[in-house]
Amino acid sequence: MSFPFDQNPPESQEPREAPQNSGKVYTVPKVPSKKIKNIVITAVVAAAVLILGFQSFYIINEQENAVVVTLGTPSAVTTPGLHLKVPLLQQVRKVDMTIKSFPIGYDMQTSESILDESLMITSDYNFVNVDFFVEYRVTDPIKALYASRDPVGILKSVSQSYIRDTIGMYPVDDVITTGKSQIQSEIKEKIIARMEEEDLGIQLVNITIQDAEPPTTEVLDAFKAVETAKQGKETAVNNANKYRSEQMPAAEAQADQIIQQAEGEKASRINEATGQAERFNAMYEEYVQYPLITKQRMFYEAMEEILPDMKVIIQDESGNTLNLLPLDQIPSEEKEETP
């Protein structure tokens, strides 16, 4: 809008000089700052209301459950459809209730074996590669979210434990051929019972043996080395037992001989000690009756023993001689007179 120079512009507009040759004045509208502030506040409030409005609703699909947490207290919502919640005070965590799965012993994307999980030993000490496929589902969404940090990881660990325990109870032929169904059934029962005890909100649906085969060439070579070492051990044990069987009779005979010699020496020493004790007692009795004569007799016997070649001859004033040593040369009449 333009106005001639002799007319006043409206209050909301202020004049601006036009180009020199135009002869007209142009004006620009001026918006009050208060009005701008009101517009901004209105826009912010509308956006907040819109956001809170969207956050007040949530949808549960057919195969889902929701856990609504109100100020830290969880509660389950299972009805599919549109539901309301209190923004900022309630949080919603959705839980997929469909059957899920994971492999044990192989990678689903590459189909390559994972030896740490698949390699097992049977009851007849053979190695075998066994792959399993585990199916599970959530039974309690609240426990599945809050009873443990990783319920699926716990299920996998429990499954691996019972798989190895059960495989170790069967020979390799049953694992590879005829015993698969029975093995699967036993493992499933054990896992279900254990998960009920743990009460983690998830349940085993099924577990199946995907494949069972002998291990790779490297593992077979290692197994053969183990078998060779085991046979070497058995050979060494057998040789040791054989040597023991050969040496034991001779050792026992030698031990018996040593024991018999010791017993004989013992009896001999006892008899000798007993004889010496009896001789001493008899000598003591004789000494009690004839002390002086007994001392002389003991002296002569000792000298005869110490100096066997010594001769003692006594001659009296009348010229009679008496041979004291050795004692066996004393005449019998003299021996009778001496005591």
Q: How far apart are CA 270 and CA 282, in angstroms?
A: 18
* Mean pLDDT, residues 67-88: 84
Burial class (CB in 10 A: 0-12, 13-18, 19+), 195: buried
189 and 115 within one domain = yes
- Domain CATH number, residue 114: 3.30.479.30
80 and 8 within one domain = no
Instruction: Give the domain-ending residue among 181, 215, 249.
Output: 215
In a domain, 233, yes or no: no
pLDDT at 317: 66
Beta-carbon count within 10 A of 207 CB: 23
* Mean pLDDT, residues 246-252: 87
114 and 78 within one domain = no
304 and 205 within one domain = no
* Mean pLDDT, residues 253-282: 88
- The DSSP string of 273-285 is HHHHHHHHHHHHH
**Are the beta carbons of 44 and 50 closer than 8 angstroms?**
no
pLDDT at 8: 47
168 and 90 within one domain = no
In a domain, 304, yes or no: yes
**Residue for token pair 């197994």:** 223
Structural domain span for residue 203: 100-215
Q: What one-letter code names the amino acid at 241?
A: N
Tokens, residue 197: 């005890």
Q: How far apart are CA 325 and CA 63, in angstroms?
A: 131
Name 14's bridge partners. 28
Instruction: Give the domain-ending residue among 193, 215, 237.
Output: 215
64-73, 86-95, 232-241, 319-328: least confidently modelled range: 319-328
| Total number of domains in the chain | 4
288 pLDDT band (50/70/90 cuts)? Answer: confident
Interval 135-171: pLDDT, tens: 999 999 999 999 999 999 999 999 999 999 999 999 9
In a domain, 272, yes or no: no
In a domain, 220, yes or no: no
75 and 16 within one domain = no
194 and 121 within one domain = yes
185 and 107 within one domain = yes
174 and 104 within one domain = yes
Q: Is 18 helix (H, G, I), strand (E, B) or coil?
A: coil
In a domain, 265, yes or no: no
What end-to-end distance do the CA atoms of the chain give, in Å? 183
Beta-carbon count within 10 A of 294 CB: 17
In a domain, 229, yes or no: no
121 and 208 within one domain = yes
Tokens, residue 272: 């000798």
pLDDT at 189: 95
**DSSP 8-state assignment for residue 263:** H
Q: How far apart are CA 91 and CA 74, in angstroms?
A: 9
* Mean pLDDT, residues 49-54: 62
178 and 143 within one domain = yes
178 and 117 within one domain = yes
Beta-carbon count within 10 A of 129 CB: 22
Interval 16-36: pLDDT, tens: 554 555 555 555 555 567 677
Helical packing angle, 151-167 and 180-198, nearest 10° = 140
Tokens, residue 82: 């549109």
75 pLDDT band (50/70/90 cuts)? Answer: confident
In a domain, 268, yes or no: no
Instruction: Give the domain-ending residue among 215, 240, 257.
Output: 215
In a domain, 223, yes or no: no
Tokens, residue 174: 């049953």
